[in-house]
Amino acid sequence: MTHQSHGYSHNPSPGIEAETLPDITHDAVVVVPGIMGSELRDTTTNKVIWGLSNARWLRRAWFSRTGLAPLQLTPNELAGDYGRITAPRLLTTPAWSPFFNGFEPYHGLLNTIKSVVAHPDAILTFPYDWRLPVSAHARALAKAARDHLTRWRNHDAHTAARPAAVDQREARLVFIAHSMGGLLTHAALTLGGDSDLATDTRGVMTLGTPYDGSVVAANILNAIQGAPIPLPHNRLATAAATMPGVHDLLPRFLCLEDGPNVRRPTPSDISDLGGDKDLFLASQTFFDTLTEQPLPRLRPVAGIGQDTVQSFQLTAGVVYASEHTFRTDNDGELKRDLHGRPLRYSGKGDGTVHRKSASPVRRAIPVYAQHGALASGKQARRTVADFLVEDDHLGLDQADGGLGLNLPDLVHPTTPWDLTVTGTDDPAGLTCTIEALEGDYTKPARLQADGDSHLRARITVPDDGLYRVTLTSPHSPELTQLVFAGPDTLDPLDE
């Protein structure tokens, strides 16, 4: 069939039909999930200890005395014996955690990648035990990626697709990494023991990776001793205090307000707020080495438009987090006002990672999304697809006119709570729904103007369980966030 375009026909060889090739990549893709994005199984009991999302499992995990106990690192694990827990696969169902809100599974992302690779065998997923330090997985990821590339280069589908590639080059690796997965990828490419792996990598796309850490991690650890909070937050804090992986997410930038100064948290600060001083010191040492090694061919995606804590004060062991941030001049000196006080700047992020932390380079691709849904949203998936086929990314124009979505991370059945939409005070054209992930409960939210470019809706859900809130607009990308409805007391059946 002759291609028709702009009023003329083009057929360089009359009588011979020109071939139109599909827009695909012949490269090998490695998908690395974020924290809490891998299912975990205890080999001593053969039970899943993270990764089920039904209401009964969630209630037992977060509201029983022993629900999260299997996630805590044992003395043997803290000493480096990591054989107790395995990570068999990526999340297959939505999951929920306080502070992080919800975690969407990676089905949508994987389906998008499958649509632009030469064969499904070109994709490798790398589930891992996210409780452990990032450094523990660097060599395993490097070896898995090398073995995957070798297998793929010998695959018949690679042989068939290679002639269509520029210069008929062999396949290289492309890493698509969400959240903590970007830190693992950085470590694998630079400290993983394979000196040729970076050369054999065409590119790395990270989605909401906290390169400089996140104040949310300080909030998590402080829940064990801070102001009164809901029960599941305390449960997570108790488990997280033993996890090197959570300490790897602690902020390593100027964020701790200390009188007239702003400084980076120290191991003593982390101990004061409820963390482990030695785990944070080991993390600092590792990242000091890692940041000296630039991540090759990086294209970061940063979630924006969502209220995100970016600084904190530490008073009598209690973290008071704020959504403002600070800046320095090129000489490293803090920006101050005429009275010498540090200047505070407003900023946003993805609700967990603020924008500056999500990119170690100046330019990042902005996407309006919450952290847990960043890898599953349509906007990010389009960006991933374009990156894989070596097309231009969507650029900064996609950031225009975006909305923000704010919810509690824990609500109680039959108790009203507020849903807030930021970025507009006009509900026209907006649709907001609350849908139970189990059962057939779906309800629209009535958005009303609340001043200062906000909309608010009063919500009540009927039962325990996990709910998805979806906000759609004709002028802004779709936003989703998970919220868990549960009790605020221990399950009496587990007493």
pLDDT at res. 392 = 34
Number of domains in the chain: 2
Dihedral sign of CA atoms 168, 203, 184, 395 in order: negative
Contact assessment for residue 98 and residue 61, using Cβ atoms and an 8 Å cutoff:
no
Residues 329 and 383 grouped into a single domain: yes
Of 58, 4, 33, 46, nearest to 491 by C-alpha is: 58
Domain assignment present for residue 136? The answer is yes
Residues 324 and 183 grouped into a single domain: yes
pLDDT band at 353 (very low <50, low <70, confident <90, very high): very high
The 3-state DSSP class for residue 446 equals coil
Segment 102-126 mean pLDDT: 95
pLDDT at res. 473 = 85
Torsion angle of alpha carbons 488, 489, 492, 494, nearest 10°? Answer: 90
Cα 332 from Cα 318, distance rounded (Å): 28
Where are any strands of DSSP class E within 194-243? 201-207
Q: Do β-strands 256-258 and 311-315 pair in parallel, antiparallel, or remain unpaired? A: parallel
**Residue 430: both structure tokens together:** 């907006």
Q: Is the pLDDT of residue 149 over 90?
A: yes
**Residue 412: both structure tokens together:** 């109680």
- Domain's final residue, options 352, 369, 400: 400
For the chain, the residue count is 495
Residues 104 and 177 grouped into a single domain: yes
Domain assignment present for residue 4? The answer is no
Residues 436 and 369 grouped into a single domain: no
Alpha-helical runs (H) found in 274-421: 277-290, 378-388
Give pTM, 2 decimals: 0.85
CATH of the domain at 356: 3.40.50.1820
Residues 394 and 410 grouped into a single domain: no
Domain assignment present for residue 385? The answer is yes
Of 336, 84, 339, 294, nearest to 201 by C-alpha is: 294
Tens of pLDDT, residue by residue over 161-190, are: 998 888 889 999 999 999 999 999 999 999
Contact assessment for residue 420 and residue 455, using Cβ atoms and an 8 Å cutoff:
yes
Structural domain for 471, as ranges: 404-494
Residues 46 and 168 grouped into a single domain: yes
Around Cβ 19, how many Cβ atoms within 10 Å?
Answer: 6
Tens of pLDDT, residue by residue over 294-305, are: 887 899 999 999
Q: Provide the CB-side half-sphere exposure for 363 (13 A, CA).
A: 7
pLDDT at res. 18 = 63
- Domain's final residue, options 381, 400, 419: 400
Tens of pLDDT, residue by residue over 54-112, are: 778 888 888 888 888 999 999 999 999 999 999 999 998 888 888 887 888 999 999 99
CB-neighbour burial class of residue 281 (10 A; exposed 0-12, middle 13-18, buried 19+): middle
**Residue 145: both structure tokens together:** 């990626």
Residues 246 and 329 grouped into a single domain: yes
pLDDT at res. 428 = 84
Residues 342 and 418 grouped into a single domain: no
CATH of the domain at 475: 2.60.40.10
Domain assignment present for residue 5? The answer is no
Cβ partners under 8 Å of residue 288, min gap 6: none
Of 283, 274, 281, 280, nearest to 241 by C-alpha is: 274
